[in-house]
Structure 1
Amino acid sequence: MEEIKEPVQLSLGNGKLNPAAAGFSRTPLHAFENLPQGVRHGWRTKRWEYWGVLTPDLVLGMTIAHLDYTATLQLYVFERATGKEISSDPLSIPPGSTAVLPGTLPPLTALGTMGGLHLRFHDDDGGTHLRAESERVGVELYAPAAGDVLGVVVPWSDTRYQYTLKDVAREVSGTVTVDGRQYPVGEGAFAVLDRGRGRWPYSRRWNWAAGYGTSAGTRLGLQLGGMWTEGTPATENALIVNGVLHHFDAELEFSYDLTDPQAPWHVRGDWLEATLTPFHRRLAATNVVAVASKTWQAFGEWSGWAAAPDGTRYDLGGVQGWIEEARNRW
């Protein structure tokens, strides 16, 4: 894939994919001001900001999404010591102004309010403030920006295309309050941003995996994807070593058993032999009006190895993260 090095609009004025936008980048360089929306364009535009946070105490997921004909927020918390799960996913039809997702280059402020849940992700010059408030959960976190990210445009056609930005190697600090109990967040915690903007087919499946940790004094970030990029020139596969991105073009092989929540998940390729052993697996499902989704997401510890293009192998022991299969009709 070609590396994008200058700011570019994802879409042309007529709503089709801008050919100059196809490729990958190490910083957020794509803007979305020409992305078409609404019934005249078939309700195919999907926009979201997802932040996942893993700490020694908690798993946290927060999403602000606008799916053209609807908007939704999601807040998920898992207490690792108790096994308690809290999940809130209000949905608004029509979307109105319940989810605000800017189309400009960062710094961005994304926010959403509905169903007693309020989410706000606000960039400053040095990182991102993550805030959530619901009846049972309060989140006040800060994730400093640190090193390269992976931005990729996946071109299914000139009318169906997706920009994804995965920032998988951010440390994070602050507090999360769950049912009145305050958890400090700091050492051993990391945050991942998944930003999506594009024009989707109605039905699509994908694998996604992320990880972050320190192995033998080296900071490693792991970003892996599959299924949804097959048949295109794009992949979202990368290894980040001490903040430096290494992007890989070849597809990876994912293997796992969805019938067994405790079974390991495996990912293999020319530069990677990785296994995630779960401490928890979540099954999230939605079936409302035209939106139907099912996601199996496993959280755990990575093992195995990943190699940089120069042949240096890195042990993945000590890297924490997650892996998922998602099936969407939207």
Structure 2
Amino acid sequence: MATHEHEITEPVDLCLPDGTLNPAAVGWSRTPLHRANLRGWGRTKRWEHWCVTTPTHLVALTVSDLDFLALNSVYLLEFGPGGKEFECSSIVPAGRGVSLPDTIAGAPGSEDVVVGPARPTGGKVRVEIRDENAGTRLRARCLTPERLPLEVDILVSRPEGHESLSVVVPWSEQRFQYTSKHTALPATGRVRVGSEILTFAGERHESWAVLDHGRGRWPRTVDWNWGAASGRTDGHTVGLQFGGRWTEGTGSTENGLCVDGRLTKIGEELEWQWSVSDPLAPWTVRTTASGQVDLVFTPFHNRSVKTDVGLIANRTDQRFGHYTGRIRTDDGEDIAVERLLGWAEDVHMRW
């Protein structure tokens, strides 16, 4: 089922010269083609979020400029009973020293992003996102609340021809979001926590990166679902990218399947069902019109975050687990999804 949404195939500015949404930017693309030429303040949000998973652990790096403050973080989770879980976060008033480019940080030709001190002490975070010939280099340093040094050094590959999903979601001329989601990117490297080293060993050993790149001007309050997963299943390399609630009524969706590097854009809202009271209860994620997605997501860990720092109040329940079920590509191929590692989240944000 082909999407009804407009496919963009040429570079385009997100904003008009007066800072409002460029109507020509509304649509989706298989490669990042938008330049997020946002100017000044005014509910403007920019971020780069990378999450890299293996069958036994994951690490996530975030650099965000939220207008009146910046929030940079490193999150590490080891799966299973007794697995380690660490989070280092740094709030920077007025976003001093945090500058995010108009295009994807770490992409060829884009500006690199480097935030935080070279040798951070407690409450500080260092994150670097740099372009290299072989891909995007992710580095981070911080001191965990347990006073353990945490260091990240991972290279995310960019396979030739690998497609992603970029979408502009328009609430109005003044409120809009450009999101670029990349799934199933092979990654190699390591994370050191104290004297322990965790290895990320590339595609053969099931190490995958997902990017959430965002630029836009948001409403004061918003709720969303986001789900993603990457891995090998049914003889294919599969990336899942699902969103919900925040796009309703806009005419745009951020739903897609990346199968062996080829994107299938899903132009309908998904039906999400999950338990608010039981964090480890299974979710269902389905399409009702096209039948292209019929999945059960079974969590094994819930990361619950609540933040209230005056202008920002956030509640996030991010569940990590496995997707099982089936998907169907644009060319009609049905693919069995068997325990594909990823996450699904329920978020309420006031910012």
2:88 aligned with 1:88: yes
* TM norm structure 2: 0.89
RMSD: 1.3
Matched, 1:255 2:259: no
Matched ranges for 1:131-170 at <5 A: 131-135=139-143, 136-146=149-159, 147-170=162-185
| Amino acid aligned to 1:162 | Q
User: What letter matches 1:161 in structure 2?
Assistant: F
Amino acid at match of 1:29: L
Q: How does 1:26-105 map to 2 (within 5 A)?
A: 26-33=30-37, 35-38=38-41, 43-81=42-80, 82-97=82-97, 99-104=98-103
Report the Cα offset of residue 62 of structure 1: 1.0
| Alignment match, 1:123 | 131
Residue of structure 2 in register with 1:286 after alignment = 307
> What is the DSSP-based 3-state SS (H/G/I as helix, E as strand, rest coil) of the residue aligned with 1:258?
coil
Q: TM-score, normalised by structure 1?
A: 0.95
Q: Aligned partners of 1:207, 1:50: CA distance in 2, in Å?
A: 16
- Check whether the contact 2:280–2:302 (CA below 8 A) recurs between aligned residues: yes
Show the counterpart of 2:120: none
Measured in 2, the distance between the counterparts of 1:221 and 1:198 equals: 24
CA distance in 1, matches of 2:133, 2:177: 26
Check if 1:265 corresponds to 2:278: no
1:243 corresponds in structure 2 to: 261
Is this contact kept in 2: 1:64–1:111, CA < 8 A?
no
More moved, 315-324 vs 113-122: 113-122
User: How far apart, CA to CA, are the structure 2 residues paired with 1:124 and 1:24?
Assistant: 27
- Provide closer, same or farther for how the CA distance between residues 8 and 125 of structure 1 changes in structure 2, counting only shifts above 3 A: farther
Aligned to 1:20: 24
Task: Note the C-alpha offset of 1:78.
Answer: 1.2
Q: Percent identity?
A: 40
In structure 2, list runs of 5 or more residues that go unmatched. 118-122, 144-148
How far apart in 2 are the matches of 1:20 and 1:125? 32
CA contact (8 A) 1:214 1:318 kept: no
Shift of 1:28: 1.1
Q: Measure, in 2, the Cα distance between the counterparts of 1:116 and 1:91.
A: 8
Aligned to 2:268, the other structure's residue is in SS state: coil
Q: In the alignment, residue 54 of structure 2 is paired with which amino acid?
A: T
Asked if the contact 2:89–2:124 (Cα under 8 Å) also holds between the matched residues in 1, the reply is: no
Residue 196 (str. 1) matches residue 214 (str. 2): yes
Question: Does the 8 A contact of 2:36 with 2:178 survive in 1?
Answer: no
Q: Give the Cα separation in 2 of the matches to 1:183 and 1:125.
A: 24
C-alpha change, 1:9 and 1:219, in structure 2 (3 Å) is same
In the alignment, which residue of structure 2 is the partner of 1:179? 194
SS across alignment from 1:172: strand
* Structure 1 counterpart SS, 2:24: helix
147-156 or 208-217, larger mean C-alpha shift: 208-217
For residues 279 and 334 of structure 2, the distance between their equivalents in structure 1, rounded to whole angstroms, comes to: 30
Contact 1:301 1:318 in 2 (8 A): yes
Aligned pair count? 324
**1:310 is matched with which residue: 331, 344, 347?**
331
Whole-Å separation in 2 of the counterparts to 1:112 and 1:299: 27
Any conservation in 1 of the 2:47–2:64 contact (CA below 8 Å)? yes
Q: Aligned to 2:116, what secondary structure does the other structure show? A: strand
CA-CA distance at 1:100 after TM superposition = 2.1
Q: Which moved more, 1:100-109 or 1:185-194?
A: 100-109
